[in-house]
């Protein structure tokens, strides 16, 4: 079960973030234009939660900073990012306890050193080079820790945990059939994700019916290249067998789960996200997709109007069965939060997603439906004008 204690992260004047005060739900969605600090915020969340584990990882791969906080912050956030913290004006607190990024850059003596948050970064496609997974040490100083660590976990999963298997998707013991079917239909189009060990290197390929050889990574669609490392991240979070989740992991952060995907593909990914919530993970998404907010709005409305499990099942297009029953029952008990990050303005809580709200940030869902709304207004105005002109000619 997810801990119901409210969890709050505040930041002021850190990079492009002017002021952020975020209380997390079971599902928290972050929206906003590029370069507004969403990724910095999420990486800071991981640093606050996983400081000992992060320092231990750098040490394990012989990356030493010799007490240089700027060097650590450049190695963690990315080269040059140490300047995001301004000593005179930057502020940071987690659950009411003040921190500074330079303090978090120092190794911790805490006894609890297990990782609690798993972050799937927006740059995840860089973890596969021509279909070959990359380990932590294959990246350079200045490449964000989130990318290096995620890639390393996927590398270990593919090369070791799944190493004896040639077919990676579909697998009957990985993910429920209700989750696999839309992935087969909308993301892989009936192809099978497999490992090809030719040239003594395990390489990801797509096996297409009628093709003697696997389709190489460079020939995949953009959506397939973006989705595959995300799928492998889901595999890592959802072990095979009777174990529902990774021990010690409480949080999952996914940046831009929609990248390169058709709306039907996004729906398939969102089912995976909801399954993570059912398993007890607290999930945070950073997105530019209105489909994600459509789902959050619908779930909140169904919950507020005392909707039933069958209503959510119909919303998600799931067949009746134990999986759907357990999933929908869990979703009715969850809490949902949405925050809008803007340039040169405080982060705004738009969780109600009220189309009639006074704030345009909320009524237009952080700008994600702004263009559609404007299109409707302009076309309606043109149609009305044309109708009036037609009446005048009679």
In a domain, 81, yes or no: yes
Q: In a 3-state reduction of DSSP, which class is residue 294?
A: helix
Q: Which two tokens stand for residue 77?
A: 């956030």
In a domain, 167, yes or no: no
- Sign (positive/negative) of CA torsion 184, 187, 191, 197? negative
- Sign (positive/negative) of CA torsion 376, 379, 383, 385? positive
Q: In a 3-state reduction of DSSP, which class is residue 255?
A: strand
In a domain, 235, yes or no: no
Closest CA to 352 of 303, 291, 289, 284: 303
Q: Which residue has the tokens 């021509």?
A: 130
* Rounded Cα–Cα distance for residues 352 and 369 (Å): 15
DSSP secondary-structure letter at 209?
T
Q: Which tens digits make up the pLDDT trace of 262-288?
A: 999 999 999 999 999 999 999 999 999
Q: In a 3-state reduction of DSSP, which class is residue 128?
A: strand
Q: Which tens digits make up the pLDDT trace of 3-51?
A: 556 799 999 999 999 999 999 999 999 999 999 999 999 999 999 999 9
In a domain, 28, yes or no: yes
The residues that bridge with 119 in the sheet, in sequence order, are 253
CA 231 to chain centre: 12
Whether 335 and 26 have beta carbons less than 8 Å apart is answered as yes
Mean pLDDT confidence for 81-99: 96
Q: Which residues contact 127 (CB under 8 A, 6 or more apart)?
A: 133, 134, 147, 150, 151, 154, 155, 229
Amino acid 4: pLDDT: 55
Q: Which residues of 263-293 are buried (b: 16+ CB within 10 A; e: fewer)?
A: eebbbbbbbbbbbbbbbebbbbbbbbbbbbb
Closest CA to 192 of 215, 161, 162: 215
* Rounded Cα–Cα distance for residues 49 and 115 (Å): 8
Q: Which two tokens stand for residue 392?
A: 């005048």
- CATH number of the domain bearing residue 92: 3.40.50
Q: Which residue has the tokens 């507004």?
A: 36
Q: Which tens digits make up the pLDDT trace of 217-231?
A: 999 999 999 999 999
Q: Which two tokens stand for residue 347?
A: 């982060």
Q: In a 3-state reduction of DSSP, which class is residue 352?
A: coil
Find the range with the poorest average confidence among 158-162, 192-196, 336-340.
Answer: 158-162
Amino acid 355: pLDDT: 84
Structural domain range at position 345 = 7-147+240-392
Whether 233 and 150 have beta carbons less than 8 Å apart is answered as yes
Amino acid 5: pLDDT: 63
* Rounded Cα–Cα distance for residues 178 and 162 (Å): 22
Residue 172 predicted with pLDDT over 90:
no
Residue 159 predicted with pLDDT over 50:
yes
* Rounded Cα–Cα distance for residues 133 and 159 (Å): 8
Backbone angles phi, psi at 240, to 5 degrees: -70, 160
- Mean pLDDT computed over every residue of the chain: 92
* Rounded Cα–Cα distance for residues 339 and 23 (Å): 9
Q: In a 3-state reduction of DSSP, which class is residue 167?
A: strand
In a domain, 137, yes or no: yes
Q: Number of folded domains in the chain?
A: 1
In a domain, 233, yes or no: no
What confidence tier does 365 reach under pLDDT thresholds 50, 70, 90?
confident
Residue 362 predicted with pLDDT over 60:
yes
* Rounded Cα–Cα distance for residues 15 and 326 (Å): 42
Q: Which two tokens stand for residue 207?
A: 């096996």
* Rounded Cα–Cα distance for residues 290 and 120 (Å): 20
- The model carries a pTM of 0.93
Whether 65 and 145 have beta carbons less than 8 Å apart is answered as no
């Amino acid at each position: 079960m997810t801990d119901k204690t409210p969890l709050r992260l505040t930041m002021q004047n850190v990079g492009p973030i002017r002021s952020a005060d975020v209380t997390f739900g079971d599902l928290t969605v972050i929206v906003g234009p590029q370069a507004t600090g969403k990724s910095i915020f999420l990486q800071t969340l991981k640093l606050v939660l996983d400081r000992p584990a992060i320092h231990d990882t750098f040490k394990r791969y012989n990356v030493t900073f010799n007490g240089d906080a700027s060097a650590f912050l450049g190695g963690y956030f990315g080269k040059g990012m140490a300047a995001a913290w301004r000593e005179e004006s930057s502020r940071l607190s987690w659950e009411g306890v003040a921190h500074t990024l330079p303090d978090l850059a120092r190794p911790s003596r805490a006894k609890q050193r297990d990782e609690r948050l798993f972050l799937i970064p927006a740059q995840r496609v860089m973890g596969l080079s021509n279909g070959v997974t990359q380990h932590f040490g294959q990246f350079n100083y200045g490449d964000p820790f989130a990318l290096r660590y995620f890639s390393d976990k996927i590398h270990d999963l593919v090369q070791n945990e799944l190493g004896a298997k040639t077919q990676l998707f579909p697998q009957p013991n990985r993910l429920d059939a209700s989750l696999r079917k839309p992935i087969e239909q909308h993301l892989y189009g009936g192809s099978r994700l497999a490992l090809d060990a030719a040239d003594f290197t395990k390489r990801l390929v797509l096996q297409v019916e009628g093709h003697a050889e696997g389709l190489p990574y460079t020939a995949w669609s953009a959506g397939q290249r973006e989705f595959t490392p995300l799928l492998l991240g889901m595999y890592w979070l959802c072990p095979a067998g009777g174990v529902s989740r990774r021990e010690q992991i409480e949080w999952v952060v996914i940046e831009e789960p929609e990248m390169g995907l058709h709306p039907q593909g996004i729906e398939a990914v969102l089912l995976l996200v909801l399954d993570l919530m059912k398993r007890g993970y607290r999930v945070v998404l950073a997105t530019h997709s209105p489909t994600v907010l459509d789902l959050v709005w619908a779930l909140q409305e169904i919950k507020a109007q005392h909707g039933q499990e069958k209503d959510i099942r119909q919303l998600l297009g799931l067949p009746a069965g134990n999986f759907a029953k357990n999933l929908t029952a869990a979703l009715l008990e969850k809490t949902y939060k949405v925050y809008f990050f803007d340039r040169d303005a405080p982060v705004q809580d738009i969780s109600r997603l009220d189309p009639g709200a006074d704030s345009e940030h909320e009524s237009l869902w952080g700008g994600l439906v702004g263009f559609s709304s404007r299109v409707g207004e302009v076309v309606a105005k043109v149609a009305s004008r044309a109708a009036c002109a037609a009446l005048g000619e009679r």
